[in-house]
Amino acid sequence: MEDCIEVSNLSKTVRAPEGQLMILQDINLKVKRGEALVISGESGSGKTTLLGMMAGLDTSDQGEVILLGQSLADKNEEQRAGIRNGRVGFVFQSFHLVTGATAMQNVMLPLELSGSDAAEQRALQVLSEVGLEHRLHTPVERLSGGEQQRVAIARAYAVNPEILFADEPTGNLDSKTGQQIIDLLFNLRDSSGTSLVLVTHEQRLASRGDRQIRMLAGRIDVDGSSAMSV
């Protein structure tokens, strides 16, 4: 199967009060099309940084990331945004919805930014898929946490992304709602065939992916199939 993300010799250093701190060190990994990769680890192990760099939200000091067949190494922010546009979806821990706008409008946003003419129909469809057909025109700040994360998932899936990055999507939710959100994410992945890169600190979620990477102090500690890790 073709790789949609290829990370080679990736390192990242940040400045800390105690001097230069290496938060990612010599990372090598590949994500295949349609694969569900779960990145887990303790807080501060570098998992969110790795996700950001794989998605082109951040740049590396060393090494290379190839996203959807294009190297991010020599691309500026504008060019990286161009690669993501319409091909990559995000789900964040803090939802990051456009407050003051309705659920529909939030889902229509990435569609319209990518020049879609049928944004409204597609938003309606995907919101129905996440079970929010009765909350279409509700301003998002009036929705519950679980509902807000559903809108965020609908927004991410609306553009039919090739890859979906999810950063701690259950971090702000209770365990029951969190479980529902994870189910929704994987069901949508199964039906759409989208690659999924999910960052979580919850070890129990690791088994849901096709493959799990466990980070420890900026390095990949374990890289294997979920069945292996279990």
Partner 1 sequence: MQLLIPRLQSWWLLWMATVITMAIVAASQLFTDRISLLLDRQATELLAADLMINSNHALPDNLRQQARELGLQTAEVVELRTAVFIDDEPQLVELKAVSSAYPLRGRLEKKKERLSEVITSERGPEPGEIWIDIKLADQMEQALEIGFQRLSANWILHFEPDRGGSLFNLAPRIMMHMDDLAATGLLVEGSRARYKLLVAGDVAAVADFKALIEPRLAESEKLQTIENARPEMRSALERTRMFFAMSIVLTLVIAMVAIAITARYATSRESTKVAVMRSFGISSRRLMRYYLMQFGKVWLLAVPAGLLGGMLAQFPLQWMLGFWFDSRLPDASATPYLLATVVGFVSLMGFSLPPLLRLIDIPPLQVLRPGSRRQTRAKFLGQTLISLLTLFVILLLIVPNMQLASWLFVAILATATFIPLVLKLILHGLNRIGPSRFWLKNYVLSRLLSQSRNALYVMSGFSLTLLSVLLISQVKDQLLMEWERQLPLDKPNYFLVNIPTQDVEALTRFLSDNAIPASEAYALVRARLTSINQQPLDQIEFDNERAYRMANHTFNISYTDQLPFENEIVQGQWLTASDDMQQFSVEEGLANDLGLGLGDRLEFDLAGSRFSATISSIRSVVWENFQPNFFIIGTREQLAQQPQTWLLSTYISEQNRPLLKPLLQLSPSVTLLDISELMQRVKQIINRASQALEFFFVFATLAAIIVLLSALNSANRERELEIALLQALGASRQHKRWSQVFEFVLMGLLVGFFAALFANLIGSVVAQRFFDLSFGFVPHLWISSIVSAILLITLVGSLFIYRSFSISPIRLLRS
**Residue 84 touching partner 1 (CB under 8 A):** yes
Of 24-32, 79-87, 175-183, 209-217: span binding partner 1 (CB under 8 A): 79-87
**Residue 60 touching partner 1 (CB under 8 A):** no
C-alpha distances (whole Å) from 82 to each of 1, 21, 85 are 25, 31, 5
Beta strands at 62-67 and 36-41: parallel, antiparallel or unpaired = unpaired
Of 21-29, 101-109, 186-194, 204-212: span binding partner 1 (CB under 8 A): 101-109
- Comparing CB distances to partner 1, the nearer of 147 and 167 is 167
**Residue 110 touching partner 1 (CB under 8 A):** yes
Of 119, 173, 184, 206, the residue at the interface with partner 1 (CB under 8 A) is 119
Binding-site size, partner 1 (CB under 8 A): 39
C-alpha distances (whole Å) from 48 to each of 41, 90, 129, 130, 207 are 10, 13, 28, 25, 19
**Residue 146 touching partner 1 (CB under 8 A):** no
Of 65, 90, 153, 164, the residue at the interface with partner 1 (CB under 8 A) is 90
Of 1-9, 47-55, 64-72, 206-214: span binding partner 1 (CB under 8 A): 47-55
d(CA 170, CA 117): 32
Neighbours of 162 (CB within 10 A): 19
b/e string for 118-138 if b means 16 or more Cβ within 10 A?
ebeebbbebbebbebeebbee
Burial category of 154 from C-beta neighbours within 10 Å (exposed 0-12, middle 13-18, buried 19 and up):
buried
Tell me the DSSP string of 119-145. HHHHHHHHHHHTT-GGGTTSBGGGS-H
Of 17-25, 33-41, 81-89, 184-192: span binding partner 1 (CB under 8 A): 81-89
- Comparing CB distances to partner 1, the nearer of 141 and 183 is 141
Of 3, 6, 26, 58, the residue at the interface with partner 1 (CB under 8 A) is 58
> Strand order in 3-16's β-sheet?
19-32, 3-16, 62-67, 70-71
Amino acid at 169: P
**Residue 171 touching partner 1 (CB under 8 A):** no
Of 22-30, 35-43, 89-97, 177-185: span binding partner 1 (CB under 8 A): 89-97
Q: Rule CB under 8 A: which residues touch partner 1?
A: 48-49, 51-52, 55, 57-59, 77-78, 81-82, 84-88, 90, 92-94, 96, 98-101, 104-105, 108-110, 112-114, 119-120, 141, 155, 167
